[in-house]
Structure 1
Amino acid sequence: MGPKQSKSDQPQLLSEPWRKINWQDKQSALKYVQDYKPHIEGQQLRILLHGPPGAGKSSFINSVKSVLRQRMCNLALVDNTSGDSFTQKFTTYKIQKGNPDSFYPFVFNDIMGLDASSEVLVDDVKLALKGHVKNGYVFNPRAKLSEGDQFYNKNPSSNDKVHVLVCVVPADTATVAQDETMKRLREIRLEARDLGIPQVAIITKIDKVCPELRDDLKNVYKTKALKQKMEQFSVDMGIPMNCIFPVKNYHEEIDLNDDTDLMILSTLKYLINFGEDFINFKHQSEQSDTYA
């Protein structure tokens, strides 16, 4: 027998990617998003991002806007120095399409980061899922939003309600199943399940924990360590693997990169599809109840 191969000597990349991306087809993915129009007239698709502080929720929103505007943008404020949540308000972000009065038919909601002590915030997120939280609400860590508050929406429309829930977790903490933060995320997931809202997870900062991706993002679905992290996160949170997407946000670059763009567009495409399916299902159910 030959000498035993050390762990560092073992290949870190799979011979074939376990998920396919056409890295040469960014324009098709971009056009798919640009052409998206909800089947229901006047409908707006709402995507709510939640996760621990510093996970990259605001950075993902900025990255999406940058890709769609084809230039670097900073719509959502991001902090690079504090371990605490920089987002304090419930904020709705629209993305301009064409002229300043035209927007894409989907919006993102950013919320304060969830940590081990975020029990009250979890209650606010549950209200947000049902459309009861108005834009601009400042999260209070000591008391949840109440019906008498000016930021409580008593009669939410379909556009106010969340159509896709996205859990954003950095790759370096995506496998801490016993962490209190993960328990909070799981509690929100169960609430969304009861409401029938589709759920997706985004794993960020993949280049920080996988050196193979710093040189070539095309290795994303060949990297063993990242696949293992995604599989463990799937077990811990119960989110299926086909609803978990690794993403590299823009955070230090000043110019766009086609590979980064395509990963963001690929993820956004699935968010749109899942949300559109949910909206149509709810609409069909309501129509059936009306004529029953």
Structure 2
Amino acid sequence: MYTLALANNTFSSCFTKKYTTYKIKKGADTFYPFVFNDIMGLGPTNGVQVKDVNLAMKGKVKEGYKFNPDSKLSKDDQFYNKGPTNNDKVHVLVCVINATTVSQLSENIVKKIREIRKEATDLGIPQVAILTKIDQVCPEIKEDLQNVYKVNYLKEKMKQFSVNVGIPMNCIFPVKNYDEEINLDDDVDSLILSALRNIINFGDDCINFRKNPSRAVMSK
């Protein structure tokens, strides 16, 4: 359970305001070789600007930048990174969606996700989705998390989201949030770690491709 990434239990507004990087400690003075960059949410009303997300993917947003729903980051701003390195750039785009709200996604949010995915595709960045709070949409899953891939209702939710935004089904990972628990649970961890493993694998693929892009000519 990682409490440094603060969260809110309401949907009234976007809780995250600043561009924040999170590392996970491996030892006393070492960290795992990946980071999470958290940004402002997409909605439901005043959310992050698509252009700011695009700049973040290119590594042009510095740590601590405060997102403004009314305007994008300008090139003369102190938080604009004019010379991003490979470590500044994004290698996987992760869209986090509450499973209880899939059916209520507004056209505006769906449009934003599609626009961001288009930019990510142009940049060669793989895209995945995390479907959270799956236990709140189905009693069978709440009773036993191991039913997660057996329940048709959840599968339909995943299909609905896939059709709406275009992310393939095998890139959508269902997880249960730690919300009431105070101790770790193997079934909860299994889903989270499975999603993380896939995200890291996609990121490795992106990095390796950028280092050694293959060239092939197809002809009939």
TM-score bucket (shorter structure): over 0.9
Specify the alignment match of 2:26 in structure 1: 97
Shift of 1:116: 4.9
**Aligned equivalents of 1:165, 1:81: Cα separation in 2:** 24
- Structure 2: gaps spanning 5 or more residues: 216-220
- Give the residue type in structure 2 aligned to 1:155: G
The change in CA–CA distance for 1:120 and 1:223 in structure 2 (over 3 A counts) is closer
Q: Sort the Cα spacing of 1:134 and 1:256 in 2 relative to 1 into closer, same or farther, 3 A.
A: same
Quote how far apart the aligned CAs of 1:179 are: 2.6
SS for the counterpart of 2:190 is: helix
Compute the displacement of 1:119 (Å).
7.2
Which protein has the larger Cα radius of gyration, Structure 1 or Structure 2? 1
75, 97, 100: which one aligns with 1:147: 75
2:19 and 2:37 in contact (8 A); partners too: yes
Instruction: Give the structure-1-normalised TM-score.
Output: 0.70
Give CA deviations for 1:258-279 in whole Å, capped at 9, x if unaligned: 0000100000000000000110
- Go from structure 1 to structure 2 and tell me whether the alpha carbon gap of 1:169 and 1:82 turns closer, same or farther (over 3 Å shift): closer
Q: For residues 68-115 of structure 1, what are the alpha-carbon distances to aligned partners after superposition, in whole Å with 9 as ceiling and x for unaligned?
A: xxxxx301011124521111100000111111x200100001111111
Matched positions, count: 215
Q: Deviations over 1:34-76 (max 9, x none)?
A: xxxxxxxxxxxxxxxxxxxxxxxxxxxxxxxx3xxxxxx3010
Task: Determine the structure 2 residue equivalent to 1:51.
Answer: none
Q: Structure 2 residue aligned with 1:173, among 89, 101, 119?
A: 101
Q: How far 1:178 moved relative to its partner? A: 5.2
Asked whether 1:87 is paired with 2:16, we answer yes
The answer on whether the counterparts of 1:163 and 1:279 sit within 8 Å (CA) in structure 2 is yes
- Supply the AA of the counterpart residue of 2:55: L
Does 1:163 find its partner at 2:104? no
- Structure 1 gaps of 5+ residues are 1-65, 67-72
Counterparts of 1:240 and 1:199, CA distance in 2 = 9
Partner of 2:146: 218
- The more displaced of 267-276 and 170-179 is 170-179
Instruction: Give the whole-Å Cα distance in 2 for the aligned partners of 1:282 and 1:118.
Output: 35
Going from structure 1 to structure 2, the CA distance change for 1:139 and 1:177 (only over 3 Å counts) comes to closer
- SS of 1:168's equivalent? strand
Given the alignment of the two structures, is residue 255 of structure 1 paired with residue 180 of structure 2, yes or no? no
Q: Structure 2 counterpart of 1:109, which letter?
A: N
Q: Following the alignment from structure 2 to structure 1, what is the Cα–Cα distance between the partners of residues 140 and 122?
A: 39
Residue 234 of structure 1 pairs with residue 127 of structure 2: no
CA deviation string 1:224-283 (max 9, x = no partner): 100011011111111111101001111211001000001000000000000001100001
| Runs of 4+ that moved beyond 6 A | none
Using the alignment, how far apart are the partners of 2:8 and 2:159 within structure 1?
29
Which residue of 2 is the match for residue 39 of structure 1?
none
Alpha-carbon distance in structure 2 between the residues aligned to 1:118 and 1:187: 17
CA contact (8 A) 1:177 1:236 kept: no
| TM-fit CA distance, 1:167 | 0.7
The secondary structure found in structure 2 opposite 1:285 is coil
Larger relative contact order (Cα-Cα within 8 Å, sequence gap ≥ 6): 1
Aligned equivalents of 2:181, 2:127: Cα separation in 1: 29
Alignment RMSD, CA only?
1.7
Q: How far off its partner does 1:175 sit?
A: 3.4
Alignment of 1:74 with 2:3, yes or no, is yes
